[in-house]
Structure 1
């Protein structure tokens, strides 16, 4: 995905909203008895790094009440069956501290019970690689790169 306008690029909100609609159209959950049931809005969440992104996503999903939409800070302790996550580095061309914090990444990647889609752009690994060259002993950046590589390998 090409993000041209930084973390506020409308493509991010559109992509997240589109994925939620896809999950509602064809997704299902399995209950404790092994029975399949269609996915409902209250089974879904979108986690974004920025409040502005969450607002843009909420506007695009205004006709789908029940989807939990917010930032990682807002999602502490909450879970849903399926979660769409916007990776914190999407849209950045540098690696600011706010986008490389491991706590928020951990929260974002651990709010799903059964399924997660992680939205990431093509430049995230390059941004982390550059930042790691500038700060080779920064364990936070090394961990971010490791997690990103694992996510990309799953894709």
Structure 2
């Protein structure tokens, strides 16, 4: 039954074929969404055969609307309610065409940790990263360069140990919602990964350590969720060669924008060297301007530059 107006939420995550199914319901459309996150994907073989066409089913709902109706008004929301000012300095690299700032006032959000008592060098290094993240909102841990398996055992060890040490220091937060210091619930701490294999092995290790409440999931499943502290397994960590999946800027954007207080990125020194090399050749399609691989390459470089003041090399 036709209606007066059609409102589509998460419009950047809806593909154009889904939009086509409901577009005739109303003459007026309002599409709402976040253009920095993961684009829709298709399980069919060779979906790129339609690239460049005005009705390409792999375009986002917003993309197909603007492609066929370029005069459509676009309204940009200039603030972020989830991210504070510290987080915006990195997150803005995902939105080069959108100037925005944090809705929360500076220094309104605070993360407090009890003093460290560990003695071993690796544990002291991780506690230093926790202290930096609590103060600055970010920490970027770089393990030594090494080509590794998708489920890197050393990186898993670091993440599990990091969570143990975080919880062992009685983390408390204060924010615009409450000026009282409140203990962080374990369900408010999350680990974001790129692969189900990484998720499954981390889940097993955390469960074995009695940390069943800690959230572990892929970027696809974490999209739209919010936590106090986020640990992000960098998509390029230990990768020998870049590819479209790991270079997807939307995946990195999701991993680095789920937190309210602090985000700790864990990767390897080779991630930076990978992006200093020559970008891979990519296919071109008539009538289709974006190049997701090269766009992702540029975004990843910009993010590493923004994280440079927070980088800690193991």
Compute the TM-score of the two structures, normalised by the length of structure 1.
Answer: 0.90
Determine which of 300, 304, 308 is the counterpart of 1:148: 304
Q: Distance in 2 between matches of 1:67 and 1:9?
A: 19
How much does 1:145 deviate?
0.5
Judged with a 3 Å threshold, the aligned counterparts in structure 2 of structure 1 residues 19 and 110 are, in CA distance, closer, same or farther, namely same
Q: Hey, which of these two has a bigger chunk of helix by percent?
A: 1
Of 195, 198, 206, the residue aligned with 1:53 is 198
Query: Could you tell me which residue of structure 2 aligns to residue 112 of structure 1?
Result: 259
- Please give the alpha-carbon distance, in whole angstroms, between the structure 1 residues aligned to 2:227 and 2:256: 12
Distance in 2, Cα, partners of 1:121 & 1:28: 29
Per-residue CA distance 1:98-145 (angstroms, 9 max, x = gap) = 11001111111111111110001100011112143x45x823211211
1:4 deviation in Å?
4.5
Whole-angstrom CA distance in 2 between matches of 1:94 and 1:131: 11
The secondary structure found in structure 2 opposite 1:8 is coil
Q: What is the CA–CA distance in structure 1 between the aligned matches of 2:182 and 2:230, rounded to whole Å?
A: 17
Q: 2:249 aligns with which of 102, 109, 127?
A: 102
Q: Distance in 1 between matches of 2:147 and 2:241?
A: 14
Q: RMSD of the TM alignment (CA)?
A: 1.9
Greater RCO structure (CA 8 Å; 6+ sep): 1
Does structure 1 residue 29 correspond to structure 2 residue 185?
no
Q: 1:131 to 1:68 in 2, by over 3 A?
A: farther
Q: Could you list the per-position Cα deviations for residues 37-63 of structure 1 after superposition, in whole angstroms to 9, with x for gaps in the alignment?
A: 222211100001111111111111101
Cα separation, partners in 2 of 1:131 and 1:50, compared to 1, 3 Å? farther
TM normalised by structure 2 equals: 0.46
What is the alpha-carbon distance in structure 1 between the residues aligned to residue 295 and residue 152 of structure 2?
29
Could you list the runs of 5+ residues in structure 1 that have no partner in the other structure?
none
2:240 to 93, 103, 114: 93
Give the SS at the match of 1:65.
Answer: coil
Aligned length: 154
C-alpha deviation, 1:20, in angstroms: 1.4
In the alignment, structure 1 residue 20 sits paired with structure 2 residue 159: no
Structure 2 unaligned runs (5+)?
Answer: 1-142, 282-290
